[in-house]
Structure 1
Amino acid sequence: MFQSVRVENENMDKVIDIVKSKINTYEVLANPASMKFLFFDSDNPDINTQFDELRKILVPMGYIPFLVLDVEHYVEVGIRPKASYRSNKVNLIMLILTLASTIYVGSIYASSFVHPGTFAEEYKLLYGFVFFSLPLMFILGIHETAHYIVARRYKVNASLPFFIPFPYLIGTFGAFVSLRDPVPTRKAMAEIGAAGPIAGFLAAVPLLFLAQYLEGIFKPIGNYIPFILNYPEIYHIFGIVEPSNVPIFPMVFAVWVGMFATAMNLIPAGQLDGGHIARGILGPRSYILGYIFIGFLFYLTITYHYIGWLFLALFVIFMGMAHPPALNDCEKISRVDIGIAVFCLVMFALTFTALPIKP
């Protein structure tokens, strides 16, 4: 659970004093890797709150506490492995590169909507920015910002969003926020995981209608149809029907990508947002659901011959199917969190499509 490193004597007394100031213990067991503080339930009627206060003190000091409620009840404190993080300049560089790649890709889709002329190339880039890069980056940015805000609300240190440029098809591999502190509770794990998809989804919904409105204004003048999109259920619920025999308006595609990203992130496996939600709500047995969905992705790959699902399944497996527990993995989940998980399940049903793109 912890790195095998020696606890320095001069720090041991300080850690013991801090733990005992928050939790009433009856015995302390020390070894080279960690210290265990055993306690009785009757002496600690509000152990979840007590442990969270302790966590907020010890984690910034370089220690990681775990709450264990088993045959014996105890808090185990180990030394946190040292880690170095990249400066925010990396975030800025990746943001600029992703803006450039999405503008470039968007300009390709915009070519069917720009009249030939002296400034045609400039207009393509402008359309690529306004009608593709901007709405797509807005949806992704709202998604990752929500993760960041909820993580900070739980006093979990998180990085600014890292955007990943990819100058092909959709212009990006998405974005992510790196949690630099361990997640304190299952509740925090579920809510941090759910915050991004919910915020991104709510940001994308009004853009569905704006994209359809603008599509009616900007008529195609070319015949470039690189692929045909299959639209998820939310389009049919709102009565939005997109023609498949005309070029795709860049903003329509950008919003579709946002919806598709929501569905992918909500798959309850591994380190995806859905994996965080499942681990928070279901606890240690959530891995069963993860393996079921990985099998489902392989089934879709074989049935629909869509290689994207295979890449996603392999990516999840490569990143790790086992999900680390929260520091307090014993706290019960509230009805509110169950409701959030159900809403995420509904979002998945509304945004998922088995065969997203047909050539």
Structure 2
Amino acid sequence: MDNPSPPADGPPVDAFSNVFHVYETRTDGTRLFYYGVPLDTADSVEQQIWPLFRDNGYEVTLTQQTGEHVLVAEPHTTGTRGFPWTNVLMALLTILSTLYAGTAWYYIDITQNPLDIVQAFPFALAILGVLGVHEFGHYAMSRYHGVDASLPYFIPFPTLIGTMGAVIRMRGRMPDRKALFDIGVAGPLAGLVAAVVVTIIGLYMDPVTAPAYVLSDPGSVQIRFNNPLILELIATAVGRPLEYADPAMSVNPVVMGGWVGFFVTFLNLLPVGQLDGGHLVRSMIGERQETLAALVPAVLFGLAGYLYYFHSSSNAAGIWFFWGLFSMGIAYAGPAHPVHDDPLDAKRIAIGVLTFVLGLLCFTPVPIEFLS
């Protein structure tokens, strides 16, 4: 039997009856369900009803359940829900994993005294600082635009830097292209600023010297991190070396925080799916972004093949082959779809172009080499 009366706190059905005819309403906890018949396209319905539900404190989505069209409205919230235990735990674990990774960069032996691990704190702070600033850039702009987002989740992992990065989870709808652009661009630009600052600080810190037992070990493998152009430009600008005549000496590991920041910026600016670059291009050129995104895996696979067959760099080829597979997956998942899809203003488009130029300065075709 029809029950078109609105649930408590929901907008009256008459307010959007011109685009969605409601014949039944239900509630399930804090969620509201409006069953009915859409009188326009799904995009048009959502564009017209979204402000009404947002004014009443709800996020709304038009979907289908068992063959019926239904508006599902959930309470709109931003920020954290209670104490972020998971975020804190993962952050603490990542601090430990980056400290442990840092002991190798500083040649710290913790077998005799495990507390010596704290000596790697500058490295851990540099890595987590750059990654954290990037993600908090997204988070701050999400709060500004009223889009629900989680605090950053740091990911501990036994890599050369002790982490697989950090992410935030976007739970709310993007109201328009401006919000999509601002949230997408905030992370790379904030992260770039942090990476530049960390790089300069690291270049002015004392270099580290490999102990004799490391240099004389016939089984040791030298790992070379090739520098992107932006890092070379920074070193030239401040007049500090990136390499030393003594092969036992290397720049302070804090510089690696900047290197990681630049590399992460380039990867995030790949114009595909839900990556930052995908958000930017989707907001700048609209639905044509999906055509551009389809080319990204092919370019990365081509780069991997070139490095493998003509540069004899299987490690770098493996990196770009992995990212080709990854980008193919997220391209298939598709980009974000803002509720209101009006074109972006010229000022933001110019900032977007500049951001991609800066991203290209962060690129190096062979990021890591293993030298025996």
TM-based fold match above 0.5: yes
**Corresponding position: 1:233 with 2:233:** no
Equivalent residue number for residue 72 of structure 1 = none
Structure 1: distance between partners of 2:169 and 2:2: 28
Please tell me whether residue 284 in structure 1 is matched to residue 295 in structure 2.
no
Alignment match, 2:58: 61
Q: Distance between the aligned counterparts of 1:144 and 1:357, measured in 2?
A: 24
In the alignment, structure 2 segments of 5+ residues that lack a partner are 24-33, 42-46, 64-68, 308-313
> What does residue range 295-334 of structure 1 map to in structure 2 within 5 Å?
295-304=298-307, 305=314, 306=316, 307-321=318-332, 322-329=334-341, 331-334=342-345
Distance 1:33 1:303, change over 3 A: farther
Partner of 2:84: 88
2:53–2:59 Cα contact (<8 Å) kept: no
Letter in 1 for 2:91: L
CA contact (8 A) 1:270 1:316 kept: yes
- Partner SS for 1:184: coil
Aligned residues: percent identity?
Answer: 29
Are residues 1:274 and 2:277 paired? yes
Query: Are the aligned partners of 1:269 and 1:275 in contact in 2 as well (CA < 8 Å)?
Result: yes
Conserved 8 A contact 1:235-1:241 = no
How many angstroms apart in 1 are the aligned matches of 2:127 and 2:270?
Answer: 20
Which one has the bigger helix percentage? 1
Question: Which deviates the most, 306-315 or 179-188?
Answer: 306-315
Partner Cα distance (2:110, 2:286) in 1: 60
Query: Structure 2 matches for 1:15-26, cutoff 5 A?
Result: 17=12, 20=15
Match runs of 1:1-359 below 5 Å:
9-11=4-6, 17=12, 20=15, 28-30=20-22, 36=38, 53-54=51-52, 56-57=54-55, 60-64=57-61, 78-80=71-73, 88-111=84-107, 122-123=115-116, 125-130=117-122, 132-216=123-207, 218-222=208-212, 223=215, 226-238=222-234, 239=236, 241-243=241-243, 245=247, 246-247=249-250, 249-304=252-307, 305=314, 306=316, 307-321=318-332, 322-329=334-341, 331-359=342-370
- Cα RMSD over matched residues? 3.5
CA contact (8 A) 1:269 1:294 kept: no
Verify the 8 A CA contact 1:63 1:77 in the aligned structure 2: no
Question: What TM-score, normalized to structure 1?
Answer: 0.78
Larger RCO, structures 1/2 (Cα 8 Å, 6+ apart): 1
Secondary structure in structure 1 of the residue aligned to 2:166: strand
SS at structure 2 position matched to 1:9? coil
**Once the 2 structures are TM-superposed, how far is the Cα of residue 27 of structure 1 from its aligned partner?**
5.8
CA 117–267 in structure 1, closer or farther in 2 if over 3 Å, else same = closer
Q: Name stretches of at least 5 consecutive residues in structure 1 with no aligned partner.
A: 1-5, 40-47, 67-75
Preserved contact between residue 268 and residue 275 of structure 1 (Cα < 8 Å): yes
TM superposition score normalised by structure 2: 0.76
